[in-house]
Amino acid sequence: MKISESDLFQCYLSSFCNEGQVIQQKFTIYDTYLTIQIGVIDELKIEYCSQEAIFEWKFENSNYCEVIVITENYSQTYQGSKQTILNLKQYLDGKVFFRNFKSHYKEIQTLKKTKQGDITKCYNKQLNIEVIAKKFNFTQNLECQQKKLILNELKICQYLSQLHQESIIKLREFYQEKDKIILIFDFCEGGTLNFYMAQNNFCPSFVDIRKMMKKLLLAIKFLHKQNLMHRDIKMDNIMLLDYNNPNSIQIIDFGFSTFIDDQPYIIERCGTPGYIAPELYSENPYDELIDIYSLGQIFFTLLTGRKFTFDSHSQKTFTQLHQKQCNIIRESTKNEIIVDLFLKMTNTSDKRYNAQQCLNHQYFEKTSKIKQKLTCLKSPLLKTPFQSIILKEQQCQSENQERFINLK
C-alpha cells in the first residue's frame, strides 16, 4: 500500500522465529533505502545498491511465493500472498541486489565478450520478454579500481532509472552471483546508431535526424541537470529500442560516467577517439560540455555518413579538422543553419553551447512555424533552407492520400 510521500510502499510478510512461532514483519520502502522489522523493536536498514544485503525470490507455478533476505549476519525467509510478494519485488526492482539469476533468465546469445565480462541477450521467464544482461567479472582478486568502476556504473544507472527519462536506457534489475555482478537492461531491438545508419543507406532523412538530435539533447540536458557527465557519447553508445524507429533512441553504457562533483574521478580522462573534446587532451579542467562536443560529432556523422579520426592532438589540428567538417556539412546539406548548430556544439569549450542553448537553436524551430513564415513571404525568390523539407512532407502526404484511395 502507498503510505506517504516519504514512504513509497509498505507491506507485512510472515516469518518464523527461533521458537517456531509465525510473526508478521513490516517492510517499508523509501526513496533511497528500505527497512525490515527484525523482532519486536529492531529494524534492518538497507541502502539501495548496497552489497550488504541480497534478495532471493522463489518462483513456483508462475507466481512469486517467498523472498529470502541474506546479509552477513542474517538470513530470513519471508512469505505472503502472491500479490504482496509481487508488489514488493516490483518496488525493489532496480534498487537492491537480487540472487539466482539463472532461475529467472534463459541466456539466448552472447553478443559481446570483453576482459571485463560478457554482454548477453536473455529471456525473462516470468515476464516473457527479451532483455540485455551486462555481466561483470567481480572476483576477489579484481583490481580495486575496476571494482569501483563497476559499482559506480551500477550506482549511476540505478539512480537514473528511478527518474525515468525516456531516452536513457532503463536498468531493470541487478544481480550479485558468486563471482559476477549482472545488470539487466531493456533490449534495444533497433541496434546501435551505426546499425540504423546502415539500414538507411547512411543517409537518414533530415526530419529523422532532427528528431533524434532533439531527443539526445533533451537526455543530455537531463543528465547535466542531475550533475552527471556521460563522458563516452558515441555512435555505439546510442541505440534504438524499436527497429528503425528514431523516436525510440536511447543513450546507453554509463561505464565512464561520473557525478561532476565527485573529484578526483576514478578515471580522470576518458572517451573514444573521434568523439573526444579538445580540452580532454590537455591538463586543464573540463566540464559537462564535453558531452555536447561528442554529440556534435554524432550530428556530423548523421548528416554526412562520415566519421573523422585524427592522430595529432594539437590545437592546430583540431582547428583544421573543425573547418574541414564544416565545409563537408555545407556541401552535403546546403544549409547554413545546420552548419551553425554544428559549430556551436563543437566550438572551443569557452564558446560551446550547452544543451538548452542547442535546443533553442533555430535548427529546432517547428516546421509549422516555418510554414507560417513562408506563407507571409511576398517574393517567391526568397528561400529558406527548410523549403525542401516542406515540399518533401507535402509530397509524402500526397502519396499517402493516393495509396489510401487505391486501397479503397
Q: Which pLDDT belongs to residue 406? A: 45
Residue 369 grid coordinates: 512555424
Could you tell me which residues come within 8 angstroms of residue 288 by beta carbon, excluding any fewer than 6 positions away?
223, 224, 228, 229, 260, 354
Contact 231, 268 (CB under 8 A): no
The position carrying cell 540485455 is 132
Most distant CA atoms of the chain, gap in Å: 92
CA gap 176, 189 in Å, rounded: 26
Residue 381 grid coordinates: 525568390
Compare 301 and 20 and report the one with higher pLDDT.
301
pLDDT exceeding 70 applies to what percent of the chain? 86
Q: Which pLDDT belongs to residue 21? A: 78
Kindly state the average pLDDT of the residues 55-60.
92
CA gap 96, 98 in Å, rounded: 6
CA gap 404, 408 in Å, rounded: 6
Compare 200 and 300 and report the one with higher pLDDT.
300
Residue 390 has pLDDT above 50, yes or no: no
Please name the amino acid found at residue 1: M
Compare 312 and 187 and report the one with higher pLDDT.
187
Contact 287, 223 (CB under 8 A): no
pLDDT (tens digit per residue) in 191-242: 999 999 999 888 899 999 999 999 999 999 999 999 999 999 999 999 999 9
Residue 19 has pLDDT above 70, yes or no: no
CA gap 387, 210 in Å, rounded: 15
The pLDDT mean for the chain works out to: 87
Q: Which pLDDT belongs to residue 243? A: 94
Compare 176 and 60 and report the one with higher pLDDT.
176
Q: Which pLDDT belongs to residue 389? A: 47
Residue 131 has pLDDT above 90, yes or no: yes
Residue 402 has pLDDT above 70, yes or no: no
Compare 313 and 212 and report the one with higher pLDDT.
212
pLDDT (tens digit per residue) in 332-387: 999 999 999 999 999 999 999 999 999 999 999 865 455 455 455 544 444 444 44
Domains of the chain in start order, with CATH, are 7-99 (2.30.29.30), 104-186 (3.30.200.20), 191-364 (1.10.510.10), 368-407 (no CATH)
- Confidence class for position 258, pLDDT limits 50, 70, 90: very high
Q: 97-98 and 53-60: which strand pairing?
A: parallel
> What's the 3-state SS for the chain?
CCCCCCEEEEEEEEEECCCCCEEEEEEEEECCEEEEEECCCEEEEEECCCCCEEEEEEEECCEEEEEEEEECCCEEEEECCHHHHHHHHHHHCCCCEECCHHHCEEEEEEEEECCCEEEEEEEECCCCEEEEEEEEECCCCCCHHHHHHHHHHHHHHHHHHCCCCCCECCEEEEEECCCEEEEEEECCCCEEHHHHHHHCCCCCCHHHHHHHHHHHHHHHHHHHHCCEECCCCCHHHEEECCCCCHHHEEECCCCCCEECCCCCCCCCCCCCCCCCCHHHHCCCCCCCHHHHHHHHHHHHHHHHCCCCCCCCCCHHHHHHHHHHHHHHHHHHHCCHHHHHHHHHHHCCCCCCCCHHHHHCCHHHCCHHHHHHHHHHCCCCCCCCCCHHHHHHHHHHHHHHHHHHHHHC
Q: Which pLDDT belongs to residue 371? A: 47
Question: pTM of the entire structure?
Answer: 0.85
Q: Which residues pair with residue 132 across a beta bridge?
A: 121, 185
Contact 338, 329 (CB under 8 A): yes
pLDDT (tens digit per residue) in 146-161: 999 999 999 999 999 9
Q: Which pLDDT belongs to residue 73? A: 85
Residue 61 has pLDDT above 60, yes or no: yes
Contact 232, 255 (CB under 8 A): yes
Q: Based on the number of CB atoms within 10 Å of its own CB, is 394 exposed (0-12), middle (13-18) or buried (19 or more)?
A: exposed
C-alpha separations of 205 from 210, 288, 374 in Å: 9, 29, 21
Q: Which pLDDT belongs to residue 18? A: 66
Q: Which pLDDT belongs to residue 338? A: 97
